Each structure stands twice: as structure tokens, then as C-alpha cells.
Amino acid sequence: MSELVIFIAAVSVAAGVSGVLVTTVGGVADSVDERGAAVSATIETDVEIISDPGSGAVYDDGTENVTLLVKNTGSRSLPPDASAAEVLVDGQYRPGSAYTVTVVSDDDEWRPGAVVRVEVDAQSSLTGDSRATVVVTGNRETIRFRA
């Protein structure tokens, strides 16, 4: 009789432990899937600022705008709007409302190989050496220019 009680207790404990393990393993698997998707998006995304910093076309002191040409050198299309990129000018974050992203082609998508024009309101007059940084899905590109 006592062996039967011990057996039932052991089976109950084993069932409880296996239930916890199944839940934990499921949570870990979901986390790995999500992280894998994020890493894949980062790997497939790459951009390059192709503006010529010596041309004087990057900064317009009359409008206080910084204009950057950014090429999608990755392997996937990106949204052609301010939600695709984050912009910093001289280390200061510019909100999406402070810049526009326009595809520089007949296409409405920012496909691999396509270029967008990012026009940023610097909101202050820049002087001397300046820099602008564009971040797209964790990929960062910086250009130094003379204002």
C-alpha cells in the first residue's frame, strides 16, 4: 500500500516538472525565433550614404537643411518614409517629423540598389565641421561635411 502512495506521488511530481519544462522550452523557442528574425532583418539590411561631402550640396545654410543621398545596398526592400530611418545631425536626434524621405527614381519603393533623398531640418545654423548619421535597422552610416 505504501509503495502505491509513493508511486502516485512520484508520478504527480514528474507530471508537474514536465509541464513546467514544456512551458519553459516553448518560451525559449519563441524567443530564439524572434531574435533570429531580427538578426536576419539586420543582416539583409545595409545602407550607404553616397552624398559628396565636398560638393557643398549636403548643407544649405539658407534653409538650414541637410540633404543626404542614401543607397539601399542590402538585399531587401525598405519602407520609403521616415519610419525606415533614424537621423542624427551633429549627435542630436532628429524626430521623424523633422525630415522627409523621398525615393530618387520612378519607383515608389526603396528597393535594393535604389537611392532615397533624406532632407533634414537641422533647426539651427551649422558651422564648421559637422556630421550626419543615418541608422536603418541597426545599420549606421555617418558622413562628415563642412557647413
Query: Per-residue pLDDT for 5 more than 80?
Result: no
pLDDT at site 3? 77
| Listed residue (34, 39, 42) closest to 140, CA to CA | 42
Positive/negative CA dihedral, 86, 92, 97, 100: negative
Choose between 15 and 39: higher pLDDT. Answer: 15
Q: How confident is the model at residue 35 (pLDDT cuts 50, 70, 90)?
A: low
pLDDT at site 42? 58
Q: How confident is the model at residue 4 (pLDDT cuts 50, 70, 90)?
A: confident
Please state the pTM of the whole predicted model.
Answer: 0.72
Tell me the per-residue pLDDT of 48-84, one tens digit each, with 9 for 90 and over: 999 999 888 899 988 889 999 999 999 999 988 888 8
What is the rounded CA–CA span in Å between residue 138 and residue 10? 50
Is 116 buried (19+), middle (13-18) or exposed (0-12) by CB count in 10 A? Answer: buried
Please check whether residue 137 is in contact with residue 42, taking contact to mean a CB–CB distance below 8 angstroms.
yes
Instruction: Fill in the amino acid letter for 130.
Output: S
Tell me the per-residue pLDDT of 108-142, one tens digit each, with 9 for 90 and over: 889 999 999 999 998 787 888 999 999 998 889 99
80 contacts: CB under 8 Å, gap ≥ 6 = 101, 102, 103, 108, 109, 110, 116
Q: Report the relative pairing of strands 99-103 and 115-121 from DSSP bridges.
A: antiparallel
